[in-house]
Amino acid sequence: MDRVIYTSLTAMRGSMARQTAIANNLANVNTPGFRGEIAEAQTIWLQGSGVGGRAVSSEEVIGADMRSGAIAATGRDLDVAMRGDAMLVVQAPNGEEGYTRRGDLQVAASGLLTTGDGHPVQGAQGPITIPAADAIKIDEEGRVWVVPAGGDPENPQQVDRLRIASTAGSDIVKGLDGLFRVRSGGILPDDPEARLVTRSLEGSNVTATTALVEMIEASKSWDSQLKLIGDARDMDSATANLMQLPR
């Protein structure tokens, strides 16, 4: 039997993987700071005797779409959005440094300043702990100000400064925890010129219409592979008919 159906199968697997990636983009269409993923098929040439000229398909997520999402004012003091392509430095679950565009900060029970999904943000001296305070404010340069409990509201004190990294010229990749890291290891340089939009939040950069078109494309590619498998079956049965001994 011909191997055409196995070649088609690799493409079908790829279509389903791509559909899953698109479904994940669509599911996160409202997640703050989310970066959509781009899945693409890659060709893998088979080598060895009798398979020359044969290639199968393999689906890979080649990276994330790094365009900015829309920034909307929320009026919440701990919401920040990054201008340009700068990223907030946070601590990943494994202790490494990770980068995110997510700026809905909150104060955890321990006083630790974290992102909305619970990663501690990094200041100049490591994780930022907010003391008992009457008011917390983050300014455009990422400095965190508090009015200490019982202190003078006109005289806030600086606790730390959010570390904001520059991604310019670096190859960053999204890890399994959804945080970005430098592809070959290492850390991004801090960007002292980076500015924040305060009391605002950056949305997801997934465009629903684009994702829907990609979804239809992935479905159609699945269907055309199915058609090929169906055709291969018809050819096989036609061959079998030809070979049948006359009765």
Confirm or reject binding of residue 238 to another protein (CB under 8 A): no
Confirm or reject binding of residue 70 to another protein (CB under 8 A): no
Confirm or reject binding of residue 67 to another protein (CB under 8 A): no
The one-letter amino acid at 80: V
Instruction: Indicate the residue among 76 and 143 with the shorter CB distance to another protein.
Output: 76
Reference 200, options 115, 104, 95; nearest CA is 104
For residues 28 and 165, give the distance between their C-alpha atoms in angstroms, rounded to a whole number.
Answer: 24
Give the count of residues interacting with another protein (CB under 8 A): 75
DSSP 8-class letter at 54? -
**In this chain, which stretch among 68-76, 80-88, 137-145, 159-167 interacts with another protein, using CB under 8 A?**
68-76
Site for another protein in 71-130 (CB under 8 A): 74-76, 104, 106-109, 111, 116-118, 130
Reference 89, options 79, 78, 100; nearest CA is 100
Site for another protein in 145-174 (CB under 8 A): 147, 149-151, 153, 173-174
For residues 22 and 36, give the distance between their C-alpha atoms in angstroms, rounded to a whole number.
Answer: 8
Both tokens of residue 16?
Answer: 């389903």
Q: How far is the CB of 67 from another protein (least distance, A)?
A: 18
Q: How far is the CB of 247 from another protein (least distance, A)?
A: 30
Confirm or reject binding of residue 66 to another protein (CB under 8 A): no
For residues 154 and 139, give the distance between their C-alpha atoms in angstroms, rounded to a whole number.
Answer: 15
Which member of 7, 15, 122, 167 binds another protein (CB under 8 A)? 15
DSSP secondary structure letters along 161-211 = EB-EE--TT--EEE-TTS-EEETTS--PPB-TT--EEETEEE-----HHHH
Q: How far is the CB of 15 from another protein (least distance, A)?
A: 8
Confirm or reject binding of residue 139 to another protein (CB under 8 A): no
Which member of 1, 124, 168, 212 binds another protein (CB under 8 A)? 212
Neighbour tally for 100: CB within 10 Å: 25
